[in-house]
Structure 1
Amino acid sequence: MPLGRLKPSRVLGIERFSDFGEFRANEVLGLGTSTPLRPREFSLTRAILPLRDGLFVFQRAFARELDVDVGTDRGIGLVVPFSFHSVSNGREVDNSTVNVVRGKVPVRSIERQPNTYLMMRFNSDMRHRGWADYDTGLGFFRTQDDPMARLRAAIVEMFSLASDCNDPREFEASNRPIQETLLAGLDATLVAADALTARRGSYDRHRKLIAHLDDVAALFGSKPLYSDDLAAALGVSVRTLQIATQAVHGVSLHHYLRLKRLWSVRVQLMTGGNGMTVKAAALGNGFWHLGDFSRGYRLAFGETPSETLANGRRPFHLGIGA
């Protein structure tokens, strides 16, 4: 999705520069000095989106040399490539590589083409999720095609929704589920599969943890299930829950929680009566991308949410045979 298709809204800021003399750097991951390689072709567009726990800047930059102390004073910074190639501190970085920075790191980068990427700054250091296990530095995480494609799709949908939304209160209600989807994509790209392998002899402990997870999830009732909340309620890290769900059920934590949320929607659609709507049930259970929700629902249950709702509204007749 070209950035040019995004339009400003009450929740999404858009900045466009066609003159290098007017260009201002964005401070999301540190200020630096840019030298355009082709000044006559200068152009930059960025979309700025603050979410509940961080700041996200989607940017198409210009061919340049860049000197910057990249990073953040607290939390963690990431760069997700869309169309990208650079040589940073002598290392070639391309479309398959997510950059993760802790602290501040001096970087000299040569970008010989206009690059498109998302810069993210989270307020949390995300150590509880198992990301980037080092204290200070810039890490390069090469990803598989499918997780990267899903992550990019979630980012595009996030910014498209923000671009179309002019009610800050409505977007605020979607803020948490949007971030949960983004975290799921980042978990899949930044946490290696072997890091989620349970230790030998730990199955019983993980099975008990999952049983406890199910009990806690049931107490949440109709409230959406978010990985951070559940981990906090259980007194463990998100990474520990990830290992446990993988060991016991063979699926990721996010997939497991998504199935629980789909079941919660299904129960509400079957029992909610005439006042229930598909949209209300989906949003109430943390599904913000309704197209993706509908596809997942049909895959899980073999019918559309609307069909479930219609069947739930049909009166039940008890027939007595002769």
Structure 2
Amino acid sequence: MPLARLKPSRVLGIERFTDFGEFRANEVLGLATSTPLRPREFSLTRAILPLQNGLFVLQRAFARQLELDVGTDQGMGLVVPFSFHSLYNGREIDNSTVSVVRGRVPIKSVEPQPNTYLMMRFNSDMRHRGWADYDSGLGFFRTHDAPMARLRATILNMFCLASEHGEPRQFEAINRPIQETLLDCLDAALVPADGLAARRGSFDKHRKLIARLDEIVALFGSKPLYSDDLARALGVSVRTLQTATHAVHGVSLHHYLRLKRLWSTRIQLMTGGAGLSVKAAALGNGFWHLGDFSRGYKMTFGEAPSETLARGRRL
């Protein structure tokens, strides 16, 4: 687990405590009262990352009893487990379960071992994405291994990038691409596949919606494509747009938009001038993890982006 290896930067804050007397609770999802189960083994590390639409805290805590009013007055909160086992109000929670809270809920928990997890607070309630469709309370969502692994990998990538980044303005420019990837991972974890099943007889309506989506994407030109912006332009929820994409093309909305962004990047690389770089083209189309971009590009087009750029310069 690389949390211990993360270093503070002008983007990422790091807090480490080895003395319970100096320990301060983090209020991202509510102010808690902790009682160590093994005081001599006390240790806590947290990495704090503010992004455009929320606050994200990756934490390795100590074995403890915990009491708190978990939740937020606005927006919504989530807990994503990495290495986790706890009893929440008598309910056993493990590595496969994402916790989602709306409003405030009193919690008494026992964490018999040091737990590692991400706490995130979104400024939006995220109802337009189809997550946790209830007004208030604490919900538990068991996920399959593949979407959970991808979610964790995305979280670790964004924290590692923040740790290595020394320029806040440059990092701010990739906030939205980072969050778009994170939102897609959460969509896969929190919206069941059968929840995207189209109603009988609705295919024609979905086909027309996707045709309008393609028109708007064309108008966006080389601008990065974000699901929230596109849904807003179409006057529908992201959840509706996800259902339509799945019904018409059999893939997720994120996958469909990713292919369009890959094609946009390819066109730029084939026609760009001498000053264009692969990194600039990728970032300009919303790809923030360059290793992932290069792998996806080669898998889609059968060549590395640098090869496309070199061939374009020869033409």
* Aligned counterparts of 1:82 and 1:251: Cα–Cα separation in 2: 27
Residue 260 of structure 1 is matched in structure 2 by: 260
Counterparts of residues 197-216 of structure 1 (less than 5 Å): 197-216=197-216
1:30 partnered with 2:33? no
Secondary structure of the 1:257 match is helix
Structure 2: unaligned runs, 5 residues or longer: none
Counterparts of residues 35-54 of structure 1 (less than 5 Å): 35-54=35-54
Counterparts of residues 84-95 of structure 1 (less than 5 Å): 84-95=84-95
Percent same amino acid at aligned positions?
81
* Aligned counterparts of 1:154 and 1:31: Cα–Cα separation in 2: 27
Residue 100 of structure 1 is matched in structure 2 by: 100
Residue 195 of structure 1 is matched in structure 2 by: 195
* Aligned counterparts of 1:110 and 1:32: Cα–Cα separation in 2: 13
Residue 231 of structure 2 is matched in structure 1 by: 231
Structure 1: unaligned runs, 5 residues or longer: 316-322
Displacement of 1:273 in angstroms is 2.1
Counterparts of residues 117-136 of structure 1 (less than 5 Å): 117-136=117-136
Displacement of 1:274 in angstroms is 1.2
* Aligned counterparts of 1:49 and 1:113: Cα–Cα separation in 2: 25
Q: Deviations over 1:214-270 (max 9, x none)?
A: 000110111000000000000000000000000000000000000000000000000
Secondary structure of the 1:24 match is coil
* Aligned counterparts of 1:271 and 1:211: Cα–Cα separation in 2: 27
Q: Which amino acid aligns with 1:229?
A: D
Residue 137 of structure 2 is matched in structure 1 by: 137
Secondary structure of the 2:174 match is helix
Q: Aligned-residue CA RMSD in angstroms?
A: 0.5
Displacement of 1:154 in angstroms is 0.3
Secondary structure of the 2:247 match is helix
* Aligned counterparts of 2:199 and 2:299: Cα–Cα separation in 1: 33
TM-score normalized with structure 1 length:
0.97
* Aligned counterparts of 1:124 and 1:277: Cα–Cα separation in 2: 35
* Aligned counterparts of 1:136 and 1:181: Cα–Cα separation in 2: 26
* Aligned counterparts of 2:48 and 2:169: Cα–Cα separation in 1: 18
* Aligned counterparts of 1:96 and 1:51: Cα–Cα separation in 2: 25
Displacement of 1:313 in angstroms is 1.0
Residue 275 of structure 1 is matched in structure 2 by: 275
Counterparts of residues 57-96 of structure 1 (less than 5 Å): 57-96=57-96
Max Rg structure? 1
Counterparts of residues 265-304 of structure 1 (less than 5 Å): 265-304=265-304
Residue 165 of structure 2 is matched in structure 1 by: 165
Runs of at least 4 residues off by over 6 Å: none
Residue 319 of structure 1 is matched in structure 2 by: none
Secondary structure of the 2:99 match is strand
* Aligned counterparts of 1:32 and 1:289: Cα–Cα separation in 2: 35
* Aligned counterparts of 2:218 and 2:5: Cα–Cα separation in 1: 42
More displaced stretch, 270-279 vs 63-72: 270-279
* Aligned counterparts of 1:264 and 1:76: Cα–Cα separation in 2: 34
Q: Deviations over 1:263-302 (max 9, x none)?
A: 0000000001212110000000000000000000001101
Displacement of 1:202 in angstroms is 0.3
1:156 partnered with 2:156? yes
Residue 318 of structure 1 is matched in structure 2 by: none
* Aligned counterparts of 1:266 and 1:259: Cα–Cα separation in 2: 10
Q: Deviations over 1:154-211 (max 9, x none)?
A: 0000000000011001100110100000001000000011110000000000000000
Displacement of 1:142 in angstroms is 0.2
Residue 222 of structure 2 is matched in structure 1 by: 222
Displacement of 1:112 in angstroms is 0.3
* Aligned counterparts of 1:55 and 1:273: Cα–Cα separation in 2: 39
Displacement of 1:114 in angstroms is 0.1
Secondary structure of the 1:212 match is helix
Q: Deviations over 1:15-49 (max 9, x none)?
A: 00000000000000000110000000000000000
Secondary structure of the 2:62 match is coil
Q: Deviations over 1:39-89 (max 9, x none)?
A: 000000000000000000000000000000000001000000000000101
Displacement of 1:2 in angstroms is 2.7
Number of aligned residues: 315
